[in-house]
């Protein structure tokens, strides 16, 4: 199996975000989880694209980049 490209990963992150939709949760706990997941998935996708545009594997302001 070949490794995923950045475009493949971005598409999967976008699909995961789309799968969550925009519906409201029944409970505060559920709404908190949905909202956090939406933000994280969107942020990861954008950070991946930004890193690609800068041709960098490191982004200013992103912690833990040296961890593997």
Alpha-carbon 25 to chain mean position: 21
Cα-based angle 54, 19, 62 (whole degrees, multiple of 5)? 30
pLDDT of residue 8: 96
pLDDT of residue 59: 63
Q: What is the pLDDT of residues 8-65, one digit of tens each?
A: 999 999 999 999 999 999 999 999 999 999 999 999 999 998 888 877 766 666 676 6
pLDDT of residue 54: 77
């Amino acid at each position: 199996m070949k490794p995923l490209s950045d475009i493949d990963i971005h598409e999967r992150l976008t699909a995961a975000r789309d799968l969550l939709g925009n519906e409201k949760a029944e409970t505060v706990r559920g709404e908190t989880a949905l909202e956090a997941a939406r933000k994280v998935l969107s942020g990861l996708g954008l950070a991946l694209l930004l890193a690609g545009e800068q041709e960098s594997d490191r982004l200013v302001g992103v912690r833990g980049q040296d961890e593997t």
